[in-house]
Amino acid sequence: MKKILTALSILLIGVSAQAQKVSSYEIDVHFFPKDAQMWGYAVSDDAFMRGNTSIEFSEITADVLTFYLHGELKIDSITSGVNHIEYTSEKVLYENNYSLVGLKTSFNTSSITSGKKLRIHYSGFMNPSRARSLSDYMRINKDDGVYLRANYYSLWFPVFLLPDEDDYEVEFKKITLKLPANFKAVVSGELLEEVSGKKYYTAYWKPGLTKMSDIQCTARKYDVISKENLSIYHISNPEQGETIIDFVEQLKTLFSSNLRNIHNTTPLYIIEMPEYGNISSQNVIGISTDVYDQFEDDLYSKRTIAHELVHPYVSIPIAKNDPFSALITEGFPSFFYLYGLERILSKEDFDLKDYMKRVEKSYIKKKQTGKDRRGNPLPIEKPILKIAFDEIGHYKDLFILPDRASLFLYHLWANMGDQKYDLFLRELFQLDSIDYDKFERLIENYIPNYSNNLNTWLNTTEYPQSLHIKD
């Protein structure tokens, strides 16, 4: 089905140039506004939203620009400075939106003022999809709340990307959300301010430089419990919130004593979600109600939280064009969160060796077949130090960065033993720069004659028997 749709959408677009890149967004959205009638909608339409987005381009070279929104939305106006911009909109088959229908809008760039800024006003509905799987739970509903993800899922702000183009990072300067007074809203990044009036609640978020696929938006009638930089947005069961806070505290203490001793000021938001809403979007982690209620028994959500949490504790300052950038940016987090879980959970709840054996098995299978668990083709394997910074997205979560990188870091642990490994980690995360020689010297202090193995792990794609996990 997916393949046919891609072929169709390529036909629909025809031959077109690459889309122009957006440099910044400011988004203002009002969910279920009372004045829907004024905009030509019936007042009872409780899935209604009204948005206005300011968009800035660093340069505009194309004569015509095209953007996409969710298919039930329509454009109210497009302006640039005092100029009203003419546009054409049509509903198209669009894979990167949960309903499979997108609103495609194109306009001529000649009326964009020299500031290269645009403002797009749009409004309409987001009803649940009947077209795809249950995990497409995205919707806006006055009683349920607002469940929106981002690019590839539910387009609640204009996305200037052709359907086959890859997502990229944009500066999201500010996102303003307005809802009835009993709601609370979470986007991602930093919560600047919340204002609760008699009738309305307004939240101001600053995601900052973020991929368009990480701008989720959730609003429900939440209660919030917070401790330091952690906030739990829940609907029921506040005791469970305390359990999650304890778990996070334990990990933070362990990470700062055994890895890098930082004062972690990154806020983390954990939000209770409807069924299928287990998501991870930058510093926001969604946990569905059934998982939230049984958090003690759920390894998946513990893993997700631990992974998001470990990032700042295992980062070593590194230039984007450095060969170590992919290993440090996503390779280290993909193993050291497991290290954290091994240390704080009982063997009954989490057995790292068992877990790593499963990683090994799946890695070997992926190498043999070139396909992931679901049979989708994987990117071609590269040595770890050959993965460029902008290729991290292709390899994280599915192949080399979680699998080979974690097998490597586990191999070091297995060879050093617990005590030496902890000393090694303390030294490693004192570093404020890294290069191959430094890294090699540090490892050889703990495992003499490891240099051949190190070369195999980092500079080749070989996985010889000698590096396999021993029984």
Name which of 340, 192, 149, 151 is nearest 260 in CA terms: 340
CB of 313 to Zn ion, least distance (A): 12
Q: Which is nearer to Zn ion, 333 or 340 (CB)?
A: 333
Nearer to Zn ion, 145 or 333 (CB): 333
- Measured from the CB of residue 334, what is the shortest distance to Zn ion in angstroms? 7
The answer to whether residues 291 and 300 touch, using CB atoms and an 8 Å cutoff, is yes
Report in angstroms how near the CB of residue 462 gets to Zn ion at its nearest. Answer: 26
Q: What angle do CA 288, 294, 300 make, to 5 degrees?
A: 65
Give me the residue whose beta carbon is nearest to Zn ion: 333
CB of 333 to Zn ion, least distance (A): 4
Shortest Å, Cβ 310 to Zn ion: 8
- Considering the complex, state which of residue 136 and residue 308 has its C-beta at the smaller distance from Zn ion: 308
Output phi, psi for 309, to 5 deg: -70, -35
The 295-334 site mask, x for binding Zn ion (CB under 5 A), equals: --------------------------------------x-
The count of chain residues that interact with Zn ion, using the rule CB under 5 A, is: 1
How many CA atoms lie less than 13 Å away from 71 in the CB half-sphere?
17
- Would you say 231 or 282 has its CB closer to Zn ion? 282
Closest CB to Zn ion among 335 and 410?
335
CB 401 → Zn ion: shortest distance, Å?
9
State the nearest-atom distance from the C-beta of 307 to Zn ion, in Å: 6
One symbol per residue from 262 to 281: x for binding Zn ion (CB under 5 A), - otherwise; what is it? --------------------
Q: Which two tokens stand for residue 27?
A: 């988004």
Consecutive H or E run containing 385:
none
Query: Which residues between 141 and 200 bind Zn ion (CB under 5 A)?
Result: none
Task: Write the interaction track for Zn ion spanning residues 330-359; mark x where CB under 5 A is met and - where it is not.
Answer: ---x--------------------------
C-alpha distance from residue 164 to each of 2, 170, 198, 369 (Å)? 12, 18, 45, 25
Using CB under 5 A, which residues numbered 400 to 429 contact Zn ion? none
SS3 243: helix
CB of 158 or CB of 402, closer to Zn ion: 402
Nearer to Zn ion, 194 or 390 (CB): 390
Residue 467's H or E segment, with its range, is: none
Report which of 161, 156, 170, 168 is spatially closest to residue 208, judged by C-alpha positions.
Answer: 170
306-328 burial by CB neighbour count: b if 16+ within 10 A, else e? bbbbbbbbbbbebeeebbbbbbb
Q: Which residue has the tokens 């098995």?
A: 361
Q: CA angle, 209 as apex, 207 and 211 as ends, to 5°?
A: 90
| Nearer to Zn ion among residue 78 and residue 270 (C-beta) | 270
Residues in the site for Zn ion, rule: CB under 5 A?
333
